[in-house]
A = this chain, B = another copy of it.
Amino acid sequence: MPVPIVGVIGGGQLARMMVPQALELGIEIRVLAEAEGSSARLAATEVGDYRDLETVREFARGVDVVTFDHEHVPQEILRALIDDGVAVHPGPHALEFAQDKLAMRRRLTELGAPVPEWAEVRTEAELDAFIAAHGGAAVLKTPRGGYDGHGVRIVRAGSEGADWFGDFDALLVEELVDFRRELAQLVARRPSGEIVAWPLVESVQQNGVCKEVLAPAPSASPRENEVTRAIAEQIASGLDVTGVLAVELFETTDDRVLINELAMRPHNTGHWTMDGARTSQFEQHLRAVLDLPLGDASARDAASVMINILGGPQHEAITDRFAAVMARHPEAKLHTYGKSARPGRKVGHVTVSGGNLDEVAYAARAAAAMFDDEESAE
């Protein structure tokens, strides 16, 4: 077998973190990056616009499979690649549900998967009606283009959606779920059907952005683990997802789980697997899209805590603080994405694993706090 070649569209941190795994497994990785100096620059063989058909076609020539750092490649380009005979994983028919939240809600409802109550609304009046029927508040989402809290808002009147109604034919409105915490269930699925699940994790959000992940999810009952795994497996098969699928869930105050969002690529809630699972989500994604047998996804330790490091106004590169963090936290695993530290941007993460959740969480939070700007004033 010649060396398999994986082409990744998008040069962000997800592409970057595939590189080490590809190297160990002897997989050649080629990245189509948006710009010079991307996170994945070490493997960026081309710089160009993923919305330009000829650029993507040219990039896909000679690779064994095309996969993604993000879900924004237009359907018509994905379908043109398929027509060219290129293997694309996940395929356009699956990615559609990650690109369009209305399509996703419709399909999940068809599958009988547990979702919050939702409606497609086209006017302020329709939105008003939904709000009135759901206790006076609801969550309004643009069907496309949302990420990290963008394209999502809580509304109490139809008029609060006025600007978005101008931009989109229809919007998604959902009940405001009364939840205890947020969870994420990641699985990987090969084209030939094999599915492997990581342990269920808890994710803590702040301002719509993932702040930390506790793995496995503390105090999750066997029943909850079973249910979330079954949901993710059902979605992976039902939507024919290939590669990593992340299912973000609400754990409601009345002990149900409801599906919040889907992502069809390695996901922030899976970064802990790099240090905390037998097989990381990046290795597993590469195996899956190449239709290679999947690895053991069990947790290595009783607890792993991953905390995102966000860019702040004070410092330019998180690596500036690595020496100080290493000195105080020899147990911390540090990861940088090689990006400039714009405020609020995810620029790296830190993970600590061990036998005791409280100790691990304490250490991870202490290490992560050393990247906060307040710290630099000491």
CB-defined interface of A8-20 with B at 8 Å, one 1/0 digit per residue? 0000000010011
Contacts of A353 in B (CB 8 A): 300
Given contacts A278-B331, A326-B287, contact A23 B3 (CB under 8 A): no
Asked if A292 lies at the interface with its beta carbon under 8 angstroms from chain B, I say yes
Residue among B294, B296, B326 making CB contact with A293, cutoff 8 Å? B326
Pick out which of these stretches binds chain B: A55-63, A168-176, A316-324: A316-324
- The answer on a CB contact under 8 Å between B326 and A295 is yes
Residue of B nearest to A324 (CB): B293
Asked if A338 lies at the interface with its beta carbon under 8 angstroms from chain B, I say yes
Contacts of A25 in B (CB 8 A): 319, 322, 334-336
Copies of the chain in the assembly: 2
Contacts of A377 in B (CB 8 A): none
- The answer on a CB contact under 8 Å between A323 and B23 is no
Residue among B23, B26, B292, B293 making CB contact with A20, cutoff 8 Å? B23
* Chain A 1-58 residues near chain B, CB threshold 8 A: 1, 3-4, 16, 19-21, 23-26, 42-43
> Closest approach, in angstroms, between the C-beta of A23 and any C-beta of chain B?
6
Asked if A330 lies at the interface with its beta carbon under 8 angstroms from chain B, I say yes
Q: Interface extent on A, as a size class?
A: 35 or more
- The answer on a CB contact under 8 Å between B330 and A296 is yes
Apart from A20-B21, A26-B317, what 7 extra A-B contacts exist at CB < 8 Å?
Answer: A3-B319, A16-B23, A20-B23, A26-B336, A293-B330, A294-B326, A296-B331
- The answer on a CB contact under 8 Å between A330 and B294 is yes
Residue of B nearest to A338 (CB): B26
Contacts of A19 in B (CB 8 A): 20, 23
Contacts of A120 in B (CB 8 A): none
Question: What 7 A-B pairs have minimum CB-CB distances, sorted nearest first?
Answer: A20-B20, A26-B336, A293-B326, A293-B327, A26-B319, A296-B330, A296-B331
Residue of B nearest to A24 (CB): B335
Asked if A301 lies at the interface with its beta carbon under 8 angstroms from chain B, I say yes
Contacts of A318 in B (CB 8 A): 26
> Closest approach, in angstroms, between the C-beta of A71 and any C-beta of chain B?
24
A301 to B294, CA, bound (A): 22
- The answer on a CB contact under 8 Å between B334 and A24 is yes
* Chain A 277-294 residues near chain B, CB threshold 8 A: 278-279, 287, 292-294
A163 to B115, CA, bound (A): 80
Contacts of A1 in B (CB 8 A): 317, 319-320, 323
> Closest approach, in angstroms, between the C-beta of A13 and any C-beta of chain B?
11
- The answer on a CB contact under 8 Å between A293 and B323 is yes
Contacts of A42 in B (CB 8 A): 23, 42-43
Contacts of A338 in B (CB 8 A): 23, 26
Contacts of A334 in B (CB 8 A): 24-25
Contacts of A301 in B (CB 8 A): 300
Given contacts A1-B317, A19-B20, contact A292 B322 (CB under 8 A): yes
Residue among B20, B23, B292, B336 making CB contact with A326, cutoff 8 Å? B292
CB-defined interface of A328-369 with B at 8 Å, one 1/0 digit per residue? 001101111010000000000000010000000000000000
A3 to B41, CA, bound (A): 14
CB-defined interface of A123-146 with B at 8 Å, one 1/0 digit per residue? 000000000000000000000000
